[in-house]
């Protein structure tokens, strides 16, 4: 029989407690190497779309805020196009689509200033509700955790991913909480009763 | 032939470390207990941020010099780490952003939460980055990091390692891992290494000494290839009904 020749993916390892050194060096006082931390700014004055603030905290299984997590987000522009390499066409050139923040050393809270994304199609052509993809790494997390944040003030009832989750009582863990106009909180619970839905994407 | 926009292969989560690896104590309260929800990748995961070579500074991949004072250098064993970023189909991944970080030659990290008694090196910061070339190739220059103790078991020491953060062409390829060094006896005693289920998978993270690329009288070389998830050919999927 012929052999399949796919290589194995390099195995993941934890980002560890000092992930800041490599990914957000200015945040951890290693200055003068890079002009600024990558992913710190997602928008500029010309970015199209509604400005939003997204904040949250990651909690461990004891309910303790994690202070050494790093969060990355990836999202479409206001028209639902992904910056960079979307096969459907060019996105807003004034929007990066990607952001990266470490939790605050004292509180663990992270904050992104971005825009409300447009809807993006599922592979079968149905539209997914507007969402932001998140990736979470930290000491004690052996492989980065993927999840999605949806908005509490849009209609998520036909979203192709949310509707296929068997335990519908867990769907609310993927919906942000509206704190004020344009300000959303998305707390992430790694473990336990309020455990966030994580995805094997 | 695979499609540049196709869905990514599913991760083999028996090859990667599981979330819960109790000997690595912090994983006990930081591991989800419910099953991950499986999905095929969509545009949200098949796309990802793009980083150009033009964002790089001239010394970004040279940790011996990028934090050093004028005319100074970091102290330690001078090494070059080089290799390729490949996908599972064996193709080089061009334009991949690699970021790396490490302790200094004595095992001390430049981080305010780190209190190991080994001293900081005033000429060593510990961070670097590069973007792969058209064949997926990359290289960096640094000093070999030292082992360091950590509060896990009563006498646990991390093997010498360099952390790597990798961006491929889709957010689904996002990966953070660690590179270990050929012949280090601490590799096989480390609970973080042992979170990986198989010896074969651990071996994939051990960089061999590469004398052919060693610069005589200057720096030894280690080769470290990194494999990211491959893409399926779209074949007959992703075709909307009726089209």
Q: Which of B78, B91, B110, B163 is catalytic?
A: B163
The pLDDT of residue B31 is 98
Q: Any CB–CB contact under 8 A between B72 and chain A?
A: no
- Count of residues making up chain B: 243
Give catalytic status of residue B111 as yes or no.
Answer: no
Question: What are the backbone angles phi and psi of residue A113, rounded to the nearest 5°?
Answer: -110, 115
**Shortest Cα–Cα distance, A4 to chain B (Å):** 10
Mean pLDDT of A180-191: 98
Q: Could you tell me where the beta strands, DSSP code E, fall in chain B?
A: 37-38, 78-87, 97-101, 127-131, 137-143, 148-150, 156-158, 161-167, 175-181, 206-207, 220-223, 226-228
**Shortest Cα–Cα distance, B102 to chain A (Å):** 8
Query: Is pLDDT of B243 > 80?
Result: no
ipTM entry: 0.97
What is the distance between the alpha carbons of residues B168 and B2, in angstroms, rounded to a whole number? 15
Q: If contacts are CB pairs under 8 Å, which of residues 134-163 in chain B contact chain A? A: 163
Mean pLDDT of B202-225: 98
Give catalytic status of residue B161 as yes or no.
Answer: yes
In the structure, what pLDDT confidence band is assigned to residue B236 with cuts at 50, 70 and 90?
A: low
Give catalytic status of residue B110 as yes or no.
Answer: no
Tens digits of residue pLDDT in A111-145:
999 999 999 999 999 999 999 999 999 999 999 99
Query: Is pLDDT of A83 > 80?
Result: yes
The pLDDT of residue B237 is 60
């Amino acid at each position: 029989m012929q052999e399949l020749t796919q290589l194995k993916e390099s195995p993941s390892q934890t980002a560890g407690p000092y992930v800041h050194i490599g990914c957000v060096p200015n945040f951890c006082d290693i200055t003068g190497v890079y002009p600024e931390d990558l992913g710190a700014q997602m928008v500029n004055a010309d970015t199209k779309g509604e400005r939003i603030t997204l904040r949250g905290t990651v909690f461990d299984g004891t309910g303790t805020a994690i202070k050494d997590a790093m969060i990355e987000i990836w999202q479409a522009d206001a028209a639902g196009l992904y910056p960079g390499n979307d096969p459907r066409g060019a996105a807003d050139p004034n929007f990066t689509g990607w952001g990266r923040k470490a939790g605050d050393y004292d509180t663990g809270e992270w904050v992104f200033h971005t825009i409300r994304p447009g809807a993006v199609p599922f592979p079968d052509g149905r539209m997914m509700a507007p969402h932001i993809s998140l990736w979470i790494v930290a000491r004690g997390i052996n492989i980065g955790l993927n999840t999605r944040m949806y908005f509490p003030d849009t209609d998520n009832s036909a979203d192709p991913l949310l509707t296929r989750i068997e335990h519908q009582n867990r769907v609310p863990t993927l919906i942000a909480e509206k704190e004020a106009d344009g300000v959303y909180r998305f707390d992430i619970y790694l473990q336990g009763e309020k455990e966030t839905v994580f995805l094997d994407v | 032939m695979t499609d540049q926009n196709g869905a990514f292969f599913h991760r083999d989560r028996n090859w990667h470390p599981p979330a819960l690896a109790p000997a690595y104590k912090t994983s006990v309260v930081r591991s989800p207990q419910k099953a991950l929800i499986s999905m095929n990748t969509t545009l949200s995961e098949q796309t990802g941020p793009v980083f150009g070579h033009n964002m790089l500074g001239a010394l970004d991949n040279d940790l011996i010099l990028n934090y050093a004072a004028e005319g100074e250098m970091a102290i330690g064993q001078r090494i070059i780490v080089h290799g390729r970023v490949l996908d599972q189909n064996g193709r080089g991944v061009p334009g991949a952003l690699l970021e790396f970080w490490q302790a200094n030659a004595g095992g001390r990290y430049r981080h305010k939460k780190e209190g190991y008694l080994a001293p900081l090196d005033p000429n060593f910061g510990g961070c670097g980055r590069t973007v792969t070339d058209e064949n997926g190739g990359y290289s960096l220059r640094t000093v070999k990091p030292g082992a360091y103790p950590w509060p896990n078991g009563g006498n646990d020491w991390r093997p010498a390692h360099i952390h790597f953060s990798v961006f491929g062409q889709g957010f689904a390829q996002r990966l953070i891992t660690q590179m270990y060094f050929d012949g280090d006896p601490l590799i096989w005693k480390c609970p973080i290494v042992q979170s990986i289920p198989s010896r074969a998978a651990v071996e994939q993270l051990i960089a061999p000494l590469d004398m052919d690329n060693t610069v005589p009288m200057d720096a030894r070389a280690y080769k470290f290839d990194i494999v990211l998830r491959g893409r399926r050919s779209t074949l007959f999927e992703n075709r909307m009904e009726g089209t």
